[in-house]
């Protein structure tokens, strides 16, 4: 349990008021371990950091401290560098091993100063550490600086580098073990440098895999018919890396149950790889509406896979409902998916609503707006 503390208190005073041996956890501690040091660690994790007794017991198998001096110094360091009490403890709960740092000023501060020197704002650094607290554990000289130099040369833009790190700080470590070899593989496959830069910029996490597994993904994507010279090649690699083999098979099975053949599936994935990243329920709902309600052939949808990524509530259903109303009145025929769902709203309304007599147009517009309101 954490005490409610005034923001005017200093970090040392705040920490001194969070007692590590409160009655709340003594019963748990006495049964968890007979070791005094272990009991102190458990108590500190529960009462100062806010871990549950069960989680604290697990963590205490890997970290241990005899007094509160070392862990207090870590929390004090964070609070002295812009973190609130709650955000500092949130960082600790995400990366409890940080509490074992013997000297935060020696091990953490140089990394913060380096990021500032590269253009990261104080707000950027706070956000980065909250999202990726383990960055404080990485070697500045052996990992962070070499990685930063490598990607800075690639991006030739400080702002692009900052945005990429903010997406996934993992690109600041693992340079030689996976990132650089995987980038070199893309170059060997003939992927244009501009596409590689965009791949790193928007999908950096996809590079954090062993070269062997990354090569397997590249080969899978090539077998599916993607051209390394096209931008969709790296997009397909990203999607394929994000989906496990079992999940891939399950989603492929959903499309097959809706009547897609191997050719349909391959064509759809080549046109819009993200059709495989949609939730199972989303795929089912879109196919149900387009096939069973609007009457489109399943194979036709495979020619427009982007539809599976559009909002069901904000686009598919509102526009589809207008088309259903027109069909029921015999006011439209020879439907084409593109003008219905792929156009901007103004074009859709002109083609399917405003082109009719005023009374009819008013009713259609009312129907359209009612469906949109449900989404809101």
* Residue pLDDT tens, the chain, 376 long: 333 333 444 555 555 555 444 444 444 444 444 456 678 889 999 999 999 999 999 998 888 888 889 999 999 999 999 999 999 999 999 999 999 988 999 999 999 999 999 999 999 999 999 999 999 999 999 999 999 999 988 998 888 899 999 999 889 999 999 999 999 999 999 999 999 999 999 999 999 999 999 999 999 999 999 999 999 999 999 999 999 999 999 999 999 999 999 999 999 999 999 999 999 999 999 999 999 999 999 999 999 999 999 999 999 999 999 999 999 999 998 889 999 999 999 999 999 999 999 999 999 999 999 999 998 7
Cβ count near 219 (within 10 Å): 11
DSSP state of 226: -
φ, ψ for residue 373, nearest 5 deg: -60, -35
Structure tokens at 103: 């000297």
Structure tokens at 276: 């495989």
DSSP letters, 51-70, are: --HHHHHHHTTT---SSSHH
DSSP state of 2: P
**How far does CA 199 lie from the centroid of its chain?**
15
Q: Please classify residue 269 by burial: count the beta carbons closer than 10 Å to its beta carbon, then call 0-12 exposed, 13-18 middle and 19+ buried.
A: buried
Q: Which residues contact 37 (CB under 8 A, 6 or more apart)?
A: 64, 65, 66
Report the candidate in 29, 22, 157, 20 with the shortest Cα–Cα distance to residue 99: 20
C-alpha distance across the termini of the chain, in Å: 38
Structure tokens at 86: 């709650």
Report the candidate in 146, 213, 201 with the shortest Cα–Cα distance to residue 173: 146
DSSP letters, 339-350, are: IIIIS-HHHHHH
Give the CA distances from residue 3 to residues 75, 184, 305, 325, in Å, rounded to whole numbers and listed in that order.
15, 52, 53, 60
**How far does CA 297 lie from the centroid of its chain?**
34
Q: Which residues contact 178 (CB under 8 A, 6 or more apart)?
A: 207, 208, 209, 210, 211, 214
Residues in the chain: 376
pLDDT value of residue 17: 52
Structure tokens at 362: 């008013």
CA 129 – CA 91 distance, rounded (Å) = 7
Q: Please classify residue 209 by burial: count the beta carbons closer than 10 Å to its beta carbon, then call 0-12 exposed, 13-18 middle and 19+ buried.
A: middle
CA 1 – CA 19 distance, rounded (Å) = 10
CA 135 – CA 169 distance, rounded (Å) = 7
Cβ count near 171 (within 10 Å): 22
CA 24 – CA 1 distance, rounded (Å) = 8
Structure tokens at 228: 């390394």
Contact 296, 335 (CB under 8 A): yes
CA 265 – CA 257 distance, rounded (Å) = 12
pLDDT value of residue 32: 42
3-class SS of residue 293:
helix
Contact 214, 178 (CB under 8 A): yes
């Amino acid at each position: 349990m954490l005490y409610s503390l005034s923001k005017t208190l200093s970090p040392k005073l705040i920490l001194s008021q969070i007692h590590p041996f409160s009655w709340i956890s003594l019963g748990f501690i006495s049964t968890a371990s007979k070791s005094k040091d272990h009991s102190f660690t458990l108590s500190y994790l529960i009462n100062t950091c806010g871990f549950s007794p069960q989680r604290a017991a697990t963590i205490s198998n890997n970290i241990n401290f005899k007094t509160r001096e070392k862990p207090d110094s870590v929390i004090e360091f964070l609070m002295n560098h812009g973190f609130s009490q709650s955000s500092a403890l949130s960082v600790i709960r995400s990366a409890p091993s940080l509490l074992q740092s013997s000297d935060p000023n020696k091990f953490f501060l140089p990394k913060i100063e380096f990021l500032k020197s590269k253009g990261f704002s104080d707000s950027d650094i706070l956000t980065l550490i909250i999202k990726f607290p383990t960055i404080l554990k990485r070697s500045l000289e052996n990992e962070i600086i070499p990685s930063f130099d490598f990607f800075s040369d690639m991006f030739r833009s400080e702002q692009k580098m900052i945005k990429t790190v903010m997406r996934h700080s993992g690109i600041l470590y693992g340079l030689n073990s996976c990132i650089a070899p995987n980038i070199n593989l893309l170059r060997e496959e003939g992927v244009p440098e501009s596409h590689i830069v965009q791949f790193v910029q928007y999908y950096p996490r996809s590079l954090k895999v062993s070269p062997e597994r990354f090569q397997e993904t590249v080969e899978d994507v090539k077998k599916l018919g993607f051209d390394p010279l096209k931008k969709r090649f790296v997009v397909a690699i990203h999607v394929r890396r994000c989906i496990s083999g079992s999940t891939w098979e399950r989603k492929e099975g959903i499309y097959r149950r809706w009547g897609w053949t191997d050719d349909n599936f391959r064509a759809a994935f080549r046109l819009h790889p993200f059709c495989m990243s949609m939730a199972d329920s989303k795929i089912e709902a879109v196919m149900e509406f387009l096939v069973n309600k609007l009457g489109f052939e399943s194979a036709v949808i495979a020619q427009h896979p982007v539809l599976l990524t559009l909002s069901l509530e904000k686009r598919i259903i509102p526009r589809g409902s207008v088309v259903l109303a027109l069909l029921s009145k015999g006011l439209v025929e020879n439907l084409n998916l593109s003008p219905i769902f792929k156009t901007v709203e103004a074009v859709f309304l002109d083609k399917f609503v405003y082109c009719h007599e005023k009374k009819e147009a008013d009713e259609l517009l009312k129907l359209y707006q009612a469906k949109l309101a449900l989404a809101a």
